[in-house]
Amino acid sequence: LRGGRWDRRVAETMIDVRKGIGMTSARTRDRLVQRLRDQGIRNEAVLEQIRNVPRHLFMDEALASRAYEDTALPIGLGQTISQPYVVARMTEALLDGFEGETVLEVGTGCGYQTAVLAPLVKKIYTIERIPELLRRAKQRLRQLDIYNVQFKPGDGWEGWAKYGPYDGIIVTAAPDHVPEKLLEQLAPGGRLIIPVGPQGVQDLVKITNCDDHNEQVSLGAVSFVPLVKGSTE
C-alpha cells in the first residue's frame, strides 16, 4: 500500500517471493479473473485485487494448491475462506458509487476479504470474535504491507460504535436478521452488504441509508457460516 494506492509491482513481488509456482502463476490467477468476468464482475480494480492478492497465504498449506479455484475452503475453527466470486461480488457492490472513506468489516476471518478491499478504501475497521483467527489475519496483512486496517476482537452483532458512523459496512457471516446496531452505525448515504438468513436459504442484500428510510436490494443467493453472537475472547 503506497499513499492509499496498491502498487501492482509490489504485489507481484510479494507473490513471487512466496511462490509455489503452480499456485501463483500469472496464468492460474488470470484464469480465475476471467471466470469472475464471465460471471458478471465488472469492476476492474476489484478484479485486479483478486489477481494480485496471494490467496494461498490465507489458508493451510494442505489446501494451498486449491487456492485459485473459485470455491470456499475451510480455514479451521469452523470457519471458511469465502469463494473468490463472492468476495468480488460483495466488494464490487460495496464500492459501486462509493464516495466515502471508512468501512466496517464484520467477520475478519482469515483476512482475505480485508486484503482485497484494503487498497480500495481509506480505512477499514474489522471485528472478529475468534482471537486466534484475528491474530493470524493481522500477521498475514502485515506480511503484505497493509496498514490501513484496525483490528478488534469482539461481537460482530454489536458493530464498533467508537469509529462510526461508517460509509460502508461489509459482513462476512450470516445473521438470521439484520442487526439493528449495524444499521445504527451506517452513515447517511452509506451502504451495508450482508448475507441474511439461515443456512441453505441466505440472501445477499445491499442496504442503503437514505436518511429517513433504508433501501434494500437483493444481490442473490449465497452460503455463509452463521454470524454468532458474543466473543470467545
Query: Which of 25, 65, 82, 223 is the catalytic position?
Result: 82
* DSSP β-ladder status, 166-171 and 186-196: parallel
Residue written as grid cell 487456492: 67
CA distance 138 to 150: 9
Contact partners, residue 61, CB within 8 Å, separation at least 6: none
Preceding peptide of 74 cis, ω within 30° = no
Residue 183, phi-psi category: left (phi > 0), alpha (psi -120 to 50), beta (remainder): alpha
- The question of whether 223 is a catalytic residue gets the answer no
CA-wise closest residue to 229 among 185, 192, 183, 180: 180
Residues designated catalytic: 82
